[in-house]
């Protein structure tokens, strides 16, 4: 078997097996592969591609590493500052006036938040002004976070719409436009009523915008594309929602004007507005010239910090019963969503594979063709190896089938011989049984004949004896008769 496999391998290497490549074609294929590999090497280096990066790719790699460091630091500082602020709300906050009573916890939480914001703003001097074409992902955040933001905004719209089902609330809301004394408080209430309607509409439009971004695919850049126009139009809704929320908090009469929670919430909404405006630049820009990476990263990191600290602390304060149930709680949910979206969006900002410089050069097509030629040669060699393996496997299968057939034939012969032996034994046994039956029957017949003869002999003896007895009796009777007649004659 091993000798046969070696023969097959030798035939394949020599090109004698059916369907294989002749030696001259193999040599040509190797030459083509060598030429393709030489074409893929950068001119004047003798190194494979990817071992050296261009200036743009190097700058982009540095930007990616820096962004990861700054994003990790921003998230860590946000979590620490939010926890400190929650502790400050629990132990050093007076809900009635809406101020902190003082102490180290509020001061440390605010100082840490300010330091985090300054670190985020320093990215304006540490990142390139522009990025190569195609280096940034313009497909929005991943599917889950975009859909989550959309559903949160739908919930915001639904809750505010449900409030209008209350007759008393509708009457009070209508009174803002039909009655009132014209005082400053009435005017403020009317402004808040209009802003509430704008928040409802912008929340619904923002949900549509996040749904359009949830596909994660590249933007449609064709002129007049319907999907692109829809994304640009609805992309303006999230920053409008942030502006309306900030304005509503400013005119909200249920919380103190310069309270700590209101101020940090307004700052968070300003950062979110800037970030969402820069996000919409991806829709407007066709070639990446309108995207500003430095400003986008700085606004995004500030959104992570400010919206994260404000949204988490105020939201937890609502469940603790210290921040009330006014507009601050509604905006805290929106701020938390903005922080999560900004963090995930920044994490996926730069594309993984650096291909911007190669896409601009005309030699990219030649390199791709060379790579395809090398792959085709490798595929041909792999096919030859696969054919050899299949041939060897078919030979082994054929031999195994022959061995199995021989074993089956031998087994059938043995079974036939055993059957014949069994038949002969059965025939001999039947003959012996027949002979024994005949002998027994003959013995029984002879015995019966002897018995019959003995019976006949006994009967003949008995008959003879009876005849003798009868003769004797007759003789006696005759003697007696004769003796009687003689005396009578004398008389």
Taking only the tens of pLDDT, the chain with its 491 residues reads 545 555 545 554 454 444 444 444 444 444 444 444 444 443 333 444 444 555 566 766 777 788 889 999 999 999 999 999 999 998 888 887 778 887 889 999 999 999 999 999 998 888 767 665 556 665 556 778 888 899 999 998 988 888 777 666 666 666 666 655 555 666 677 777 788 889 999 999 999 988 887 765 454 444 445 677 888 888 899 999 999 999 988 887 777 778 888 899 999 999 999 999 988 887 776 555 567 788 889 999 999 999 999 999 999 988 888 877 667 787 888 999 999 999 998 888 876 544 444 444 434 555 566 677 777 777 878 888 888 788 877 778 778 878 878 778 777 777 777 778 778 777 777 777 777 777 777 777 777 778 778 777 777 777 777 778 887 777 777 767 656 555 544 44
Q: What pLDDT, on the 0 to 100 scale, is given for residue 369?
A: 67
Tell me the C-alpha distance between 491 and 487, whole Å.
Answer: 7
Q: What pLDDT, on the 0 to 100 scale, is given for residue 275?
A: 93
CB-based contact 417:424 (threshold 8 Å): no
- Nearest alpha carbon to residue 264 among 347, 192, 156, 339: 339
Q: List beta partners, residue 350.
A: 136
Q: What pLDDT, on the 0 to 100 scale, is given for residue 93?
A: 86
Tell me the C-alpha distance between 219 and 100, whole Å.
Answer: 47
Contacts of 211 (CB under 8 A, 6+ apart): 146, 147, 150
Q: What pLDDT, on the 0 to 100 scale, is given for residue 29?
A: 46
Tell me phi and psi for residue 94, to 5 degrees. Answer: -110, 110
The 10 Å Cβ neighbour count of residue 436 is: 10
Q: Look up residue 18 and give its two tokens.
A: 């059916």
**How would you classify residue 44: left for phi > 0, otherwise alpha for psi between -120 and 50, otherwise beta?**
left
Q: What pLDDT, on the 0 to 100 scale, is given for residue 299?
A: 92
Q: What pLDDT, on the 0 to 100 scale, is given for residue 151?
A: 92
Q: What pLDDT, on the 0 to 100 scale, is given for residue 312?
A: 94
Q: What pLDDT, on the 0 to 100 scale, is given for residue 40?
A: 42
Q: What pLDDT, on the 0 to 100 scale, is given for residue 131?
A: 60
Tell me the torsion sign for CA atoms 336, 337, 338, 344: positive
Give Cα separations from 396 to 8, 18, 148, 326, 400 (angstroms): 12, 18, 59, 82, 6
């Amino acid at each position: 078997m091993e000798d046969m496999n070696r023969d097959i391998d030798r035939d394949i290497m020599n090109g004698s097996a059916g369907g294989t490549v002749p030696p001259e074609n193999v040599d040509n294929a190797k030459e083509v592969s060598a030429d393709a590999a030489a074409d893929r090497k950068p001119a004047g280096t003798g190194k494979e591609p990817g071992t050296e990066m261009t200036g743009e790719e190097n700058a982009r790699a540095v930007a990616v590493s820096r962004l990861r460091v700054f994003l990790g630091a921003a998230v860590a500082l946000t979590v620490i500052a939010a926890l400190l602020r929650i502790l400050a709300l629990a132990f050093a906050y007076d809900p009635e006036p809406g101020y902190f009573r003082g102490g180290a916890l509020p001061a440390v939480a605010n100082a840490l938040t300010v330091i985090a914001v300054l670190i985020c703003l320093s990215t304006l001097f540490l990142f390139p002004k522009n990025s190569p074409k195609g280096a940034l992902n313009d497909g929005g955040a991943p599917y889950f976070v975009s859909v989550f933001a959309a559903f949160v905004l739908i919930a915001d719209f639904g809750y505010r719409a449900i409030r209008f089902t209350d007759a008393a609330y509708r009457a009070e809301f209508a009174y803002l436009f039909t009655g009132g004394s014209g005082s400053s408080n009435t005017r403020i209430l009317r402004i808040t009523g209009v802003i509430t309607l704008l928040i409802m509409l912008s929340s619904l439009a923002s949900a549509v915008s996040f749904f359009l971004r949830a596909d994660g695919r590249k933007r449609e850049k064709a002129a007049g594309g319907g999907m692109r126009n829809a994304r640009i139009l609805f992309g303006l809704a999230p920053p409008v929602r942030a502006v309306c929320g900030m304005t509503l908090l400013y005119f909200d009469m249920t919380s103190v004007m310069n309270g700590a929670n209101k101020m940090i919430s307004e700052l968070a909404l300003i950062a979110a507005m800037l970030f969402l405006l820069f996000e919409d630049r991806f829709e407007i820009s066709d070639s990446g010239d309108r995207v500003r990476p430095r400003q986008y990263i700085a606004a995004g990191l500030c959104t992570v910090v400010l919206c994260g600290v404000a949204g988490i602390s105020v939201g937890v304060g609502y469940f603790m019963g210290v921040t009330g149930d006014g507009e601050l709680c509604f905006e805290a949910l929106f701020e938390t969503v903005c922080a999560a979206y900004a963090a995930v969006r920044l994490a996926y900002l730069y594309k993984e594979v650096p291909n911007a410089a190669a896409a601009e050069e005309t030699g990219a097509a030649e390199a791709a063709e060379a790579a395809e030629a090398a792959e085709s040669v490798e595929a041909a060699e792999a096919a030859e190896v696969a054919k050899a393996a299949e041939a060897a496997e078919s030979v082994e299968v054929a031999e195994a089938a022959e061995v199995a057939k021989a074993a089956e034939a031998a087994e059938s012969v043995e079974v036939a011989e055993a059957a014949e032996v069994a038949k002969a034994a059965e025939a001999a046994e039947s003959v012996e049984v027949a002979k024994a039956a005949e002998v027994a029957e003959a013995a029984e017949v002879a015995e019966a004949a002897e018995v019959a003869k003995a019976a006949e002999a006994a009967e003949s003896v008995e008959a003879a004896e009876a005849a003798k007895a009868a003769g004797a009796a007759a003789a006696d009777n005759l003697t007696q008769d004769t003796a009687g007649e003689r005396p009578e004659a004398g008389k």
